Amino acid sequence: MRIERVSLHRVSLPLVAPFRTSLGTEYERSALLVRVTASDAEGWGECVAGADASYSPEYVEGAEDVLLRHLVPPLMSTEDVTAAAVGPLLAGVKGHRMAKAALETAVLDAELRSHGMSFAAGLGAVTDRVPSGVSVGIMDSVPELLDAVAGYLDQGYVRIKLKIEPGWDVAPVRAVRERFGDSTLLQVDANAAYTRADARHLAGLDAFDLLLIEQPLDEEDLLGHAALARNLRTPVCLDESIVSARSTADAIALGACGIVNIKPGRVGGYLEARRIHDVCAAAGVPVWCGGMLETGLGRAGNTALAALPNFTLPGDISASDRYYTTDITEPFVLRDGHLTVPAGPGIGVAPIPSVLAEVTTAVREVRRD
């Protein structure tokens, strides 16, 4: 494709309720959307970088800057761009995986639309719907947590993930397990809130038959995770530590994880996410798709990815109304505990113009000379 224009849309969407993790509390989703216009198609991508750098070194303003200064220009100066070529074209820029992922996704969306092919078909999906789990933030009290979990189970979510941190772990997990029983699929996510010294304390979670404990230690501490995995019955899952197929293979070889959470935006895009899926499948390591408070654009791509064969655990791909009163696309609706994988060309959805205009705070555009 010959790319004629790239537009960056800054948007802000209020969350239906504050979302608290060990890293802080979010009240709104500040996102950066990337729109690529080619001669015969257009495509959209969503950058999952947060408003600040508390979760990742990347943040919305930085992603916008690196896209404008360093990532968009190489694509605009190339006559024939494909999604597979985006990674090599941008290899001279170190890091910035979230910004690169947004741009690659927009190119991939446009490319697949031009061929009338869906994301699901392009990635190798084997099902047309995926099981939906929900992530439950840290609450002010255990009764508040139990009410929230009850509400999500009533809505039909098939798996509950509890955010934990020191001082909010064993007691709330015990309360949820006792209230809702052993048949409820339950896992926890620490967002790297613990250290190696907490190993004995974390072993206290073994009593609750959890699916997994996600990213208990610092993202760079693979050896610590390997040691922890040897001392827990609960499977250790890596999230923030997984940034590429290579890092995934290293983590598996070290015994640092028995399960992997794949977030396309964090690893540089859906093509790298598929490679990670393949690495894990070859090693017999199950995967699931994590969430980053995506709008319908990111949610559409994630459902397609989660339809690949080795995604054997429910992901954090919740319905639109889990986070937003009004999504920027047609909403994703929970049906029988599942979300439908879009079947239309590309990611299968697009922003609703009137909604996009309402939530957009700024637009920057680069045109081919």
The residues annotated as belonging to the active site are 163, 263
Q: Which two tokens stand for residue 354?
A: 């009137």
How far CA 320 is from CA of 33, 128, 325, in Å, comes to 17, 18, 8
CA-to-CA distance for 275 and 244, rounded, in angstroms? 8
Which residue from 323, 277, 314 is spatially nearest to 296, judged by alpha carbons? 323
Which residue from 270, 336, 282 is spatially nearest to 306, judged by alpha carbons? 270
Q: Which two tokens stand for residue 317?
A: 């791909």
Q: Are 277 and 312 in contact (CB under 8 A)?
A: no
> Dihedral (C-alpha) 305, 332, 338, 145: value to the nearest 10 degrees?
110
Count of Cβ atoms closer than 10 Å to residue 5 Cβ:
15
Q: Are 268 and 244 in contact (CB under 8 A)?
A: yes
CA-to-CA distance for 340 and 128, rounded, in angstroms? 6
- Strands 129-131 and 338-340 come out as antiparallel
Helix axes 270-283, 97-114, angle to 10 degrees: 100
- Strands 338-340 and 159-163 come out as unpaired
Partner residues linked to 47 by β-bridges: 32
Please name the residue that has the structure tokens 């999230």: 239
